[in-house]
Amino acid sequence: MIQLVDLPTRRNEAWKYSDLARAMDERVQFVLRRDRADPHVTSAFACGGVIGALAAQCGRVEELRLAAGEALVRVDRPTYANLEPRLLEVDLAPGARLCRIVVQSDAESGIILDAAHVRVGAGAQFQQFIMAEGAKLARMETKVEIEGEGAGVELNGVYMAGPGRHADLTSSIVHKAPGGTTRQLIKGVARTRGRGVFQGKILVAPGAQKTDARQYHHGLLLEEGAEIFAKPELMIHADDVQCAHGNTAGGLDESALFYMRSRGVLEADARALLIEAFLVDAVPEWAPDETRAEILGRIGAWLRGAPNTWTAGVSPAGALAVQDATERAS
């Protein structure tokens, strides 16, 4: 049985909004099979942090290597069934392309921990889309290291935190080589007692000139008592780069609502369509047709189960915290 002291608490900055120790109870316990000092565990911790260490101790660590020019589409479905923290270690050789889709849609009362650590070679592409419906606590972490020149990264995601659910999308992208591109668009909605968390770090190392990185996170609070926490972090240590980020949370766009109503669409229907469009915007075109259809279906089903009562342009009395930590060289 794991010692709770091994788990991060909210005092741990990276786990500030996702209190793992508190989410554990007698029904939800990890059973450790390896020692913390085991070299497998320490190396997994180095790659995948806390989730990596837990995956090495009591879950699953998987390695994936794509050779030069190789392309793969992969769909992951983290589940609660056997409470198995997972770490996926990916190595993309120059010119390789990995499209990864993560669909997290069950596990109302469980804990889901999923981490991917991706090293991207020159000219390689890593494109990822995560759909998270949350769980008692669900955290999907993505750590990307751009090691070769001219690599491309896309990290999109949608979270839908229903009542009592917690969905955490955390990512870190380190540009170590020049000419890399990052595109990140995360959209999320939360209902009462639902909590959405977005933590996104982009670090541009000295020497990673001509980096072009854009990160956007937009959240909609659907009911009173909904919570969205966002922590965008942009750290730029090179001087010839283009970086942009944006972060919003609140209600629907009032002008879009009026536009639709002026065409005859009933107010309630216009709201439903706009919320759906808001989320669908982050679903990538490159997703295989049937997976895309499944994702759009899950979004539609989730929204049909949600009420549609709040007023456009007015945020309900939910909590929103944005901790913006942007640093720029010189």
Partner 1 sequence: MFDVSNLHVAAGGAEIIKGLTLSVPAGETHALMGPNGSGKSTLAYALSGRDGYEVTQGEAALDGADLLALSPEQRAAKGLFLSFQYPVEIPGLSAIAFLKAALNAQCKARGLEPMSAPEILKLLRAKAAALKIDAEMLKRPLNVGFSGGEKKRFEALQMAVLEPRFAILDETDSGLDIDALKIVAENVNALRGPNRAMLVITHYQRLLDYIKPDRVHVLARGQIAASGGPELALELEREGYDKYLRAA
In the complex, which residues of this chain contact partner 1 (CB under 8 A)? 253-256, 258-267, 269-270, 273-274, 276-282
Residue 221's identity, in one-letter code, is L
How far apart are alpha carbons 124 and 149 in whole angstroms? 9
Give the shortest CB-221-to-partner 1 separation in angstroms.
18
Give the shortest CB-219-to-partner 1 separation in angstroms.
15
Give the shortest CB-47-to-partner 1 separation in angstroms.
34
Reduce the secondary structure of 20-86 to three states and give it as a string: HHHHCECCECCCCCCCCCCHHHHHHHHHHHHHHHHHHHHCEEEEEEECCCCEEEEEECCCCCCCCCE
Cβ-based nearer residue to partner 1, 54 or 186 = 186
How far apart are alpha carbons 246 and 275 in whole angstroms? 19
Cβ-based nearer residue to partner 1, 44 or 189 = 189
Task: Report CA dihedral (242, 247, 248, 253) to the nearest 10 degrees.
Answer: 30
β-pairing, 195-204 with 125-132? Answer: unpaired
Give the shortest CB-257-to-partner 1 separation in angstroms.
9
Cβ-based nearer residue to partner 1, 106 or 276 = 276
Cβ-based nearer residue to partner 1, 119 or 271 = 271
Angle of helix 254-262 relative to helix 267-280, nearest 10 degrees, comes to 130
Cβ-based nearer residue to partner 1, 30 or 278 = 278
Give the shortest CB-6-to-partner 1 separation in angstroms.
41
